[in-house]
Amino acid sequence: MAPNPSCTLMPFSELQLQLDERAAQGLLRQRRTVSGPQAPQLVLDGKPYLSFCSNDYLGLASHPQLVEALQLGAERYGVGAGAAHLVSGHFEAHEQLENELAAFVNKPAALLFSTGYMANLGAVQALTGRDDTVFADKLNHASLNDAMLLSRATVKRYPHCDMEQLAAMLMETKRGRKLICTDAVFSMDGDRAPLPELLGLCEKYDAWLLVDDAHGFGVSGAQGRGSLSFAGVQSPRIIYMATLGKAAGVSGAFVAAEQAVIDTLVNNARSYVYTTATPPALSVALLESLRLIAGGDELRCHLQSLIAQLRAALTGLPWPLMESDTAIQPLLIGENQAALALSMALRERGIWVAAIRPPTVPAGTARLRITLSAAHTASDVDRLTEALYELAQEF
């Protein structure tokens, strides 16, 4: 039968209409193509920029020792894992990395996932179900929000870092397992969750705490051991998750927790069971990354000095920097189009900073998400500062 043109075309013209609407609101997302490695000096669509928008906080994404480790890994294991971890895709390098990660974050066991998104989906889905309740900070990462839906648990979201509201919600929840989910460092705000208070509530109300440390691992805490070390908290109740594509500079993620939790994930986390293992060569690179992180005090020191430099320099702008002591330093603009225009004007000056708009952040809080990296220099920060002051005159 010949396809009916009105049937095949209509759905797509509707999609186009929706895309056009998005564009009119300044919300259309578009990709740019990078040539060469991730670095502050970034070539995007063929043009050089000074970039302040990667999560490569320690500048490890193109580190020569990691490149070499990846090459050695490929020589030893080839390119693909060829199967899921539970079939024939779990290699020595994965096993060794899991053991070292667990020890590094002071947990009995750890489990590798292919991405942080999948780790969150898997952990929440495997640990909670219909009779349980998941409590979540309203500013948590999208992957935790999606994870809660997938788990089919009852979802209770509390206002950002509002421990009183959370306590009230915990108190009124009588049955089932209780799991609190939080970003340790909030990805679009740069501020930190009150981990000691959260753990206190877990103890009082017999709940578990899933801490997503995508932006703390490698950067925060002694030797970059992450936000638990930074906050000085540790407990079997804490299920720790961190990503390996940000400060660690490679790819993937892990969950670290009590052995029974990890064994449950191995058996029940669908995003672990039903997916091909990450290439073992990546684990070889990550083992090297872990060494660079542990020995990376100088990198972290330099990053801290850049953060202090930026915060001191930007106090005179019409737009406030949000409260943050991490590498994520968002400049709060407000309106979508204004954030976009500012980001475009920086671009014309050869500086790349991402404008973050709803639905990634709440309406009316569009921002420039400035992220710093140990690979930046003090004069890179000066260049951004000067450009922002110039633009403040014009806007």
To the nearest whole angstrom, how small is the minimum distance from the Cβ of residue 253 to ligand PLP? Answer: 5
- DSSP notation for 129-194: -TT-EEEEETT--HHHHHHHHHHT-EEEEESTT-HHHHHHHHHT--SS-EEEEEESB-TTT--B--
Q: What angle do CA 339, 345, 346 make, to 5 degrees?
A: 90
Residue closer to ligand PLP by CB (options 128, 243) is 243
Specify whether 94 is catalytic. no
- Which CA distances in Å does 161 have to 130, 146, 180, 206, 318? 25, 20, 12, 19, 27
Residue closer to ligand PLP by CB (options 212, 288) is 212
Q: Which of 151, 187, 326, 329 binds ligand PLP (CB under 6 A)?
A: 187
Please report where in the chains the tokens 């039903």 appear, as a residue. Answer: 274
Cβ atoms of residues 381 and 389 within 8 Å: no
Could you say whether residue 141 binds ligand PLP (CB under 6 A)? Answer: yes
To the nearest whole angstrom, how small is the minimum distance from the Cβ of residue 392 to ligand PLP? Answer: 29
Catalytic site residue from 54, 114, 151, 187: 187
**Which residues, at least 6 apart from 284, have a Cβ–Cβ distance to it below 8 Å?**
69, 70, 72, 73, 76, 77, 93
Could you say whether residue 116 binds ligand PLP (CB under 6 A)? Answer: yes
Query: Cis bond leading into 48, ω under 30°?
Result: no
252 token code pair: 């993937």
Q: Name the one range near ligand PLP by CB under 6 A: 93-101, 146-154, 209-217, 376-384.
A: 209-217
* SS3 state of residue 350: coil
Euclidean distance between CA atoms 391 and 114, whole angstroms: 41
Q: Which of 56, 183, 189, 288 binds ligand PLP (CB under 6 A)?
A: 183
To the nearest whole angstrom, how small is the minimum distance from the Cβ of residue 241 to ligand PLP? Answer: 8
Q: Which of 115, 125, 151, 289 binds ligand PLP (CB under 6 A)?
A: 115
Q: Which of 177, 245, 338, 385 binds ligand PLP (CB under 6 A)?
A: 245
Specify whether 85 is catalytic. no
Specify whether 138 is catalytic. no
Could you say whether residue 278 binds ligand PLP (CB under 6 A)? Answer: no
Could you say whether residue 214 binds ligand PLP (CB under 6 A)? Answer: yes
Could you say whether residue 324 binds ligand PLP (CB under 6 A)? Answer: no
126 token code pair: 């495997």
Which residues carry out catalysis? 187, 215, 246
Q: Summarize as ranges the residues that interact with ligand PLP (CB under 6 A).
A: 115-117, 120, 141, 143, 183, 187, 212, 214-215, 243, 245, 253
